[in-house]
Structure 1
Amino acid sequence: MALRPYWKGYLKLSLVTCSVEMTPATSDSDRVKFHTLNRDTGNRVLSQYVDSVTGKPVRDKDEVKGYQRGEDDYVMLEDDDLDHVALESTKTIDISTFAPRDEIDWIWLDNPYYLTPNDKISDEAFAVIRAAMEKQKMVGISRLVLGRRERAVMLEPRGKGIVLWTLRYGDEVRDEADYFKGLDEEKPEKAALPLIRKLIKKQTRHWDAKMVSDPVQENLLDIIKSKKKHRRAPAPKKAAPSDNDKPSNVINIMDALRKSIEADNKRSKKK
């Protein structure tokens, strides 16, 4: 079922403009979620804002944003003040820069959204912008205000639509060189590479969403189902232990690889 759009506005490239809508590309709505209850009454426990000095609950209409400038000293900002700093990117994705897709490393990508035309009139302009980027293997770089914060975004053609990625801020990305430096000093044994390639080939599968299923989620659903029927909760399913699961002090990589291939062959025969 299609979700309600998270954001609506305009996609603009020079003089070409079209109406678009944006929907999150991922969802956690099917995750098992819990409420906190009062064990004695079974009623839900509600959270609320409380004045840190008086201890009294604060009404919604009395809540206000505050910027701390000193100890117990805040500058209050009303909604009108925050609205005054609204930028054009609040409602318009203006593509001002293009970049080769392969130059933007994965670590900069934050959250994905599906970007689609908002009405039939916008279909043609949207298709022209998407097709032009796809043909030249380029992505668009722009800015967009989400949650009162302006974010850099990347627009990537995907199928008949566009995937919009919010990009991380520069100070959020750590330099990999700080962690990987010196790792290339170790040279792998030449004899080990063919064995590793053989192991990789035997364990290669086509991608399937089941590869990232959550066994904890499945166990929780089993427990909830049994509780509904007032039965004793089943014990979580555990995989049968194998020799490969036991800790080993094997230091020789060649021996370890040979054992891995032998174990994989045994599993294949059982299947």
Structure 2
Amino acid sequence: MARPFWSGQIQISLVSFGVKLFPATEAKSEIHFHQISKKTGERVRHQKVSGGASGDEEPVEKDDIVKGYEYSKGEYVQIDPKEIANLRIPSRRTLELQQFVDLKDLDPAYFEKPYFVTPENESQAEAFATVRKALADTHKAGLGKIAMSGREHVIAISAPEDDSLPGLMGYELRYAEELRKPEEYFADIKTQKISEESLDLAKELIKRKSGKFEMEKFKDEYEAALRAMIEAKMKNVPLPKEEKPAKRGKVIDLMDALRASIGEGGKKPPAHESAGHGKAKSKVAVMPRRGAKKSSEKRRKSA
């Protein structure tokens, strides 16, 4: 098991109990690159240096490096990492849950990192379990702050959706000022009039492609392609060729594209010219279905 990322007390008013936070994620990529010289093939190594009074660069040992805050041009106040670690701030050791909110009110845009939260030891288990059950029954998350990794973070504590899991989940949240203003990006999007028929078709399409959330179905195809390329270079064989992107289909109006997507009528939708008459329709490109080309070839051969 990994070492705790943070340990301390969860405090709710006069109730407190010890917990440990473990990172809930890990990097799964097995491919790592080093920087090497193109000419020699040797690995490039980086050395920390400082500029001396004469302008010459001098190597600096790791133990001789401290942090420095530049309060004036070229003037620094030195800060030892131990001094930062010993800052007098309550959230270094105590996560005080200051407010409780409905889980549905937590905007996903604020979520940063997930953590597993466990009792510090057996003596803390009863209080831990009681608070966990209360959070699960009320569908609430507790908000508080903890200091770690050089800053103070907002943390949301909640019970897992799977009630069979006896622990708690902690979610590191972004501060409001860290999110860019969506209005700056959405300002140029004009309001569109949506027909009831096209909306019903879009809902039906979503319904037909809906299913249970199973993240295990999503795999990192990029890493697989990268590994195939590396293996080809190691064996000195031709590199795998990139698949050509699917050709864009004929441009038709939105309604026909939606009908074609859900197979309504079983007929191929007609292509409309861009200079049509009457009310302008939304134009979209219909992507050819997989295997459609092969099927058409078989039909021609059988004919």
Q: TM-score, normalised by structure 1?
A: 0.83
Structure-2 change in CA distance of 1:92 and 1:192 (3 Å): same
Instruction: Confirm or deny that 1:235 pairs with 2:236.
Output: no
Tell me which amino acid in the other structure corresponds to 2:35.
T
8 Å CA contact retained: 1:219, 1:237: no
Structure-2 change in CA distance of 1:226 and 1:3 (3 Å): farther
Tell me which amino acid in the other structure corresponds to 2:240.
A
| Larger relative contact order, structure 1 or 2 (CA cutoff 8 Å, min sep 6) | 1
Alignment of 1:48-197 (within 5 A): 48-52=47-51, 53-158=55-160, 159-180=165-186, 183=189, 185-197=191-203
Instruction: Confirm or deny that 1:214 pairs with 2:220.
Output: yes
134-143 vs 73-82, which moves further: 73-82
SS at match of 1:185: coil
SS at match of 2:159: strand
8 Å CA contact retained: 2:143, 2:154: yes
Alignment: residue pair count: 265
Q: Deviations over 1:61-82 (max 9, x none)?
A: 2211111122212222123432
Structure-2 change in CA distance of 1:54 and 1:187 (3 Å): same
Q: Offset of 1:189 from its aligned partner?
A: 1.7
Tell me which amino acid in the other structure corresponds to 2:254.
I
The CA distance in 2 between the partners of 1:102 and 1:151, in whole Å, is: 21
8 Å CA contact retained: 1:134, 1:157: yes
Q: Offset of 1:197 from its aligned partner?
A: 2.3
2:205 matched residue in structure 1: 199
Tell me which amino acid in the other structure corresponds to 1:56.
E
The CA distance in 1 between the partners of 2:151 and 2:173, in whole Å, is: 12
The CA distance in 1 between the partners of 2:135 and 2:216, in whole Å, is: 32
Q: Unaligned 5+ residue runs, structure 1?
A: none
The CA distance in 2 between the partners of 1:90 and 1:259, in whole Å, is: 58
Tell me which amino acid in the other structure corresponds to 1:125.
A
115-124 vs 198-207, which moves further: 198-207
8 Å CA contact retained: 2:232, 2:240: no
Identity %: 28
The CA distance in 2 between the partners of 1:99 and 1:207, in whole Å, is: 24
Question: How large is the RMSD of aligned CA atoms in angstroms?
Answer: 3.0
The CA distance in 1 between the partners of 2:38 and 2:290, in whole Å, is: 47
Larger radius of gyration: 2
Instruction: Confirm or deny that 1:254 pairs with 2:255.
Output: yes
SS at match of 1:112: strand
